[in-house]
Amino acid sequence: MFILMIADMYLKLFVLIMVKLNFFDLGKEPIVREVFPLGNSEVIKNGYEITDKCIKCKKCEKICPQKCINDFKINQTHCLHCGLCYEKCPVNAIRKLGN
Ligand code: SF4
Ligand code: SF4
């Protein structure tokens, strides 16, 4: 019983550390995404980033549903983390951030 209580406590602690709130403002074009940490959790940077392996082919820019890639940079405010750019980059120049 005591072990179960300890396990439950750690589980709650883990959930609290990992919790963050993603807010999507669908009323804006393009959609705006904001992240708010809950409790004492830190906001871990996640999403995608274009690295200097980029050959400037613009495939990512064309496929992005949010049109949030400009000058080979991702506008993080509008990125929905869909991963399409990451999947379609021919030279794996887009890095996935966080976990
Ligand atoms: S698809 Fe890849 S190589 Fe092409 S512009 Fe985007 S990041 Fe650069
Ligand atoms: S993850 Fe999706 S929304 Fe974000 S830049 Fe890539 S294609 Fe656009």
pLDDT band, very low/low/confident/very high, at 13 (cuts 50, 70, 90) = very low
- Residue nearest ligand 2's atom 6 by CA: 85
Boundaries of domain holding 10: 2-97
User: Contact 5/13 with Cβ under 8 angstroms?
Assistant: no
Which pLDDT belongs to residue 11?
A: 47
CATH of the domain at 29: 3.30.70.20
Q: Which residues line ligand 2 (CB under 6 A)?
A: 48, 64-66, 68-69, 74, 79-85
Structural domain total, the chain: 1
Question: Does the beta carbon of 58 lie inside 6 Å of ligand 1?
Answer: yes
Question: Does the beta carbon of 93 lie inside 6 Å of ligand 1?
Answer: yes
CA distance 97 to 95: 6
Cα 80 to ligand 2 centre (Å): 6
pLDDT: which is higher, 28 or 81: 81
Q: How far is CA 3 from the centre of its chain?
A: 35
What is the three-state SS of 22-89?
Answer: EEEECCCCCCEEEEEECCCCCCCCCEEEECCCCCCCCHHHHHCCCCCEECCEECCCCCCCCCHHHHHC
pLDDT band, very low/low/confident/very high, at 22 (cuts 50, 70, 90) = confident
Q: Quick one: which ligand is closest to 69's CA?
A: 2
CA distance 49 to 94: 6
Which pLDDT belongs to residue 25?
A: 78
Q: Quick one: which ligand is closest to 82's CA?
A: 2
On average, the pLDDT of the chain sits at: 80
